[in-house]
Amino acid sequence: MLMLLVLLNLLLFYLWAGSDAVIYQCTYKPTRERCAAKVQPLTGKALEELKMLKKFNHDLIIRYFGDFVEEINGEKHLIILMELADMPLYAYINHIKPINNPIRFRSIAAQLVEAVHVLHSNGIIHRDLSYYNILIKRNMIKIADFDVATTVENNAFDTVGLFRIQSPEMLLHFKYDQKTDVWSLGCILHFIATGKMPFEDDSSAYVLRKIGREIGFPKDYKEVLRFYTKGDGNFYYKSCPFESLKKVIGDENWDLIIQCLKTDPEERATSTELYNHRTFYEYLQVFFCYFVASFLMYIF
């Protein structure tokens, strides 16, 4: 690794290690700019992630700075230089406590929805949206980690990511599309408001059971009948899931989460529909009134 430091002209500080990658905080000596360096074996999967990152130049997507290939211990590795964030969403919420103030919740929800909308508008399915892969930098959202992302052209059936956040169709190995990200987004929004995942449990089977008990399933989900019936073989839906949450963050914010957490993908909102959700119109109206009031106070 010492030879690598000389070759890359970088100062490295260890940040995090995954199953097939190590991430360092680094300072690029020529510019003294701080960034993150992801070091991983040079594989087709790594090159696909690189391809995804290069697609975007957006404030809510982690920025790509550069890449190169180096040999480490006789094996070729891909090093990707990226924007350095402050912390993952998980640490952020644990640090400041859940964001259940309706206006603050809308602010962070608007960023998340816009970020997912940007991905989907470019034909991308992230597939692993979680409180670990959503980063915070100066109170702004940054979506990162595209190592299992795919495109809408591919027929996706495989299960990836945290099972606590996976959509029902992914958990059941059904074919899925971009709406699997919308489900994950709903789970993350619930986490932001409460500090807890809505369907937290120890296995995918128990997660499915919790989903069924809290929300219900469409009638064609025969494979999981035992998880969501009351023993009489009848399907059921809750008329007002997460009702206690509704009282905390307000009707419009609650509805935003519910539109994400529809067990039937056909009924679940698209990222475009979420982007145009009425809760954000209300947020913009409040912001506009505040801006006008501040402007008038400045003039007079």
Integer Cα distance of 70 and 165 in angstroms: 35
Residues β-bridged to residue 135: 88, 142
CA torsion sign for 174, 177, 182, 187 is positive
Is 220 part of the annotated catalytic residue set?
Answer: no
Q: 290 vs 104, 107, 275, 287, 295, CA distance in Å?
A: 14, 14, 22, 5, 9
Integer Cα distance of 176 and 167 in angstroms: 9
Catalytic residue, chosen from 128, 145, 147, 181, is 128
DSSP of the chain: -HHHHHHHTEEEEEEEE-SS-EEEEEEETTTTEEEEEEEEE--HHHHHHHHHHHT---TTBPPEEEEEEEEETTEEEEEEEEPPPSEEHHHHHHHH----SHHHHHHHHHHHHHHHHHHHHTTEE-----TTTEEEETTEEEE---TT-EETTS-B----S-TTT--HHHHTT--B-THHHHHHHHHHHHHHHHSS-TT--SSHHHHHHHHHHHT---TT-GGGHHHHS-SSS-----SSTTHHHHHHH-HHHHHHHHHH--SSTTTSPPHHHHHT-HHHHHHHHHHHHHHHHHHHHHH-
State how far Cα 53 lies from the chain centre: 15
Return the active site residues.
128
